[in-house]
Structure 1
């Protein structure tokens, strides 16, 4: 039996920050890591950070801003790199337009290893690699132990579920929310009339592609290629393999060129290649071959839900992987060219970019998790008309970005206002020693579309780790801390000292009016 004070199950982006936050507070921490790279969507899943438009000025924890500065410093100090960013503000290594920081995921993976190394060296943090939870036991309102893939058991005072799927919540037999709630449950105007836990956001198996100067080998058409080539998005009408993406309004499609008309960095075209480009030739001397991370609507796998559906998670992940390979074959052989031809055989899998030989990410990109049933639940109304929360433990902001879901095919891109995360959303109603540390805090399906992104998940993990450490120090449960005004204030003071803003800065918000 492995014994520790805080067990972080899953080395997602939130999991890394939860382990860091708890260990730097002096607690003994175990971090269970399934994939080679620590950091989840920032690294192993291959997704450049989705951020709000005030991120350059604030609206995130100090540690997140330190990370952004370190990524930029890495490139600024790299031989041959000169910042010629044209598509966004600030130094953007890949000069992609989805984010102000499109960079090679390995740089972030190295950063997380360095971040945790002093804690590992001190003995406060132990990382168990190549492991995942397969079972959990409970005693009353507490999780007693978690069993790993290799048969070892972990006993801990606090267990933090930092899996991208909320796996520990399910293994522990705790109640959870998943998929879409009914409109009547929380009065959300954008929710459907009937709840459906299988109507989840799709997953995507990201693939890194390199644009070579000359054609390379064409991959063989995967078995499902004919199906996907003919597939049309039912709510939108256009072919999946096309230059069209679902728009912000249901049924609306927008056309994007695969490539800009010219190689001029100042070309304002919002093309698919530069969407998530992470290596931009014009930023390097001599120029490097360009690399882009293919995470488009064209390889969103939405035929089956990842969680609790008729297929196993492994089967859904395999199908998503094959879809991405089908898209690659289409790009190499049939994608329309500006010169009237077909196919771009110069697009080749970028071996090594995602830590794999085939260019595919180590882990599928998971947009939606099982979510705890908490003492509080953040709803649509509370992010579109946000208020100041007395128990706020951080701030977040992102549009309500819903990819067409697995059952209804309903997509959404709704505006929200900068909002706060209440402590009650971190506290499970039925368990005293489990905390959410990824995409699994107590929010609705609609709000998950706002809180699933990088700065928010980073914050969730950092807060969860700090909360576990504070609860151990005080000898109280998180629920007791929330109910005690003095203890709550002490927790919030500690978070503020750690560089976590509890409320939005009025000067920042004034920029939105």
Structure 2
């Protein structure tokens, strides 16, 4: 297998960090490759087509390995696409702080708009175009454009047969002996046909860490106690069932003089609902007043789909807006398009980690009823700047997310099962306040812990949404590193995490769960398997042997990965 440096791999993937023309691609990608007899065996099986799964696949594919990637829905891209969450990123993302391949993805998204959309001259001339001008991200874009770009990056390997992509396939079981996974069985959700897949390595890139219990890989869920971790913000008593709320995101547009209001079935419940969490929520969930994530004091936002609010930075309409019609030729869009992923539609009444299939469906249905109730409240009750109530011209946009109901294809999951890892990142390593209390003599309290086995970097506040019991936990982190030890299970030898399922705690998951960090985790895992195979050693040995580790870190640098933050 030929190892390629990153510049060579870019040539194969069809892009550079500079501008590159991107051909028009289908908004909803084509039919997946169907499994055949030859495809039952592969170098690596990646379960889950989210960002970590895609970046793992790209790392393996550009270095000559074969991959089968399964995905439960009919879209790859995870939180960026199927969950409809514009990328949460740090302030330096335009130039550094993520793998080169992630920066390529971002550039390709902009190029897609430059190539295919009727932008205004000002938008065309803007090298850091933000299609939606949403203020949550410097690159608020349509999920289907992200999908098209990911397919464009993967399509050469689908074409040459290295990648077998199995959409709408769900994990069923595994054959595991001792420390090794031998096979994993998946079910085609369209035909119910079962396929047993054999691989040398297995990567769990599912949104909930679904491969871990199937393979007997040790994991934890929920909150750890302060006695377990010593973390400043950990609870006194841990609870494995206390996970962050999930969200059924949906897309909205607005047409003045229209009336789309239609009362949903569960509106009477949700219109009166007050979250039963501590510290207390400031009132009803369906309100423009909610807990400030940092202070937990009541905070009021505006909502104005006309864009005329006197305080636009606090206008929730533009918060996660993915299309700002002002970026496009006049009348090309009749309305902006915005994603509703707010505290007001966080679903706090159920835990989907470990839920049965029926329980999962019931919770997602209820979460969508919450979303529809929020929409109806916005249409009929939300206070307007002119003193009136409601915006009846609000309606679901059913194209942006590729669904018939206007909701994302999969709930936005903030927390999953987490492996019991060789090394666990705790708040003392990365939390700004806790770091100042925990450092050793001579260490800088304004820097996160430096990990000798770092395989990537990231940065985002520790941002924990409410659980079923606890309000927001949100506080500053420091620019952090991703330790290899957090990507290796304590016992299992050939299964690895590539999503929100690495060796973090409930607290540190809050800053390791965002888009570029998930991409970084996936790419590091993919490259670890490339290197271990090439050197004929186990992935565990790469970390244990300092000479191998140093060589591996040098290798991943040639693949466009930074392992240390530069001052």
Structure 2 CA distance, aligned partners of 1:82 and 1:452? 35
Contact 1:80 1:286 in 2 (8 A): no
Displacement of 1:261: 7.9
Distance in 2 (alpha carbons) for counterparts of 1:503 and 1:290? 39
SS in 1 for 2:508: helix
Query: Partners of 2:254 and 2:74 in 1: how far apart?
Result: 26
Distance across 2 between alignment mates of 1:272 and 1:419: 30
- Alignment equivalent of 2:362, drawn from 312, 315, 318: 315
Superposition deviation, residue 312 in structure 1: 2.5
Residue 353, structure 1, aligned to residue 400, structure 2: yes
Please, which runs of 5 or more residues in structure 2 have no aligned partner? 1-36, 188-192, 436-447
Q: Partner residue of 1:217?
A: 260
- Structure 1 residue 28: deviation in Å? 1.1
TM-score when scaled to structure 1? 0.94
Q: Does 1:301 align with 2:363?
A: no
Structure 1 residue 307: Cα displacement? 1.1
Q: Which residue of 2 aligns with 1:511?
A: none
Per the alignment, do residues 324 and 89 of structure 1 end up closer, same or farther by CA in structure 2, a change over 3 Å counting? Answer: farther
State the distance in 1 between where 2:157 and 2:370 align. Answer: 40
Indicate if the aligned counterparts of 1:375 and 1:428 stay in contact, CA closer than 8 A: yes
| d(CA) in 2 for partners of 1:315, 1:19 | 32
* More off after superposition, 448-457 vs 467-476: 467-476
Q: Secondary structure at the match of 1:352?
A: coil
Shift of 1:78: 4.0
Residue 165 of structure 2 is matched in structure 1 by: 127
Structure 1 unaligned residues grouped into runs of 5+: 507-513
What is the deviation of 1:300? 0.4
What is the CA–CA distance in structure 2 between the aligned matches of 1:70 and 1:95, rounded to whole Å? 17
Asked whether the equivalents of residues 236 and 250 of structure 1 are also in contact (C-alpha less than 8 Å), the reply is no
1:207 aligns with 2:250: yes
Query: Aligned to 2:150, what secondary structure does the other structure show?
Result: helix
TM-fit CA distance, 1:413: 1.1
Query: 1:32 maps to what in 2?
Result: 70
Q: What displacement does 1:138 show?
A: 0.8
SS at match of 1:143: strand
| Residues in 2 aligned to 1:353 and 1:237: alpha-carbon distance in whole angstroms | 33
Match of 1:286 among 310, 313, 330: 330
Deviations 1:27-64 (A, max 9, x none): 11101022121100000100000001121231111011
Runs of 4+ with deviation above 4 angstroms: none
In 1, are the aligned partners of 2:345 and 2:370 still within 8 Å (CA)? yes
Residue 250 of structure 1: CA displacement?
5.2
2: distance between equivalents of 1:378 and 1:318? 34
With normalisation by structure 2, the TM-score equals: 0.85
Quick one: distance in 2 between partners of 1:260 and 1:436? 40
CA distance in 2, matches of 1:71, 1:83: 18
What does residue 22 of structure 1 align with?
Answer: 60
2:201 is aligned to: 158
State the partner residue of 1:245. Answer: 290
1:433-461 CA deviation, whole Å, 9 max, x = no partner? 00101111111111111011100001111
Cα distance change on mapping 1:446 and 1:19 into 2, 3 Å: same
Matched, 1:63 2:101: yes
Counterpart of 2:467 in structure 1 is 405
Distance of 1:220 and 1:267 partners within structure 2 = 30
Alpha-carbon RMSD across the aligned residues, in angstroms, is 1.9
State the alpha-carbon separation in 2 of the partners of residues 270 and 338 from structure 1. Answer: 13
Count of equivalent residues:
501
Residue 218 of structure 1 and its aligned partner are, at CA, apart by: 2.1
Residue 165 of structure 1: how far off its partner (Å)? 0.2
| Larger displacement relative to structure 2 (340-349 or 446-455) | 340-349
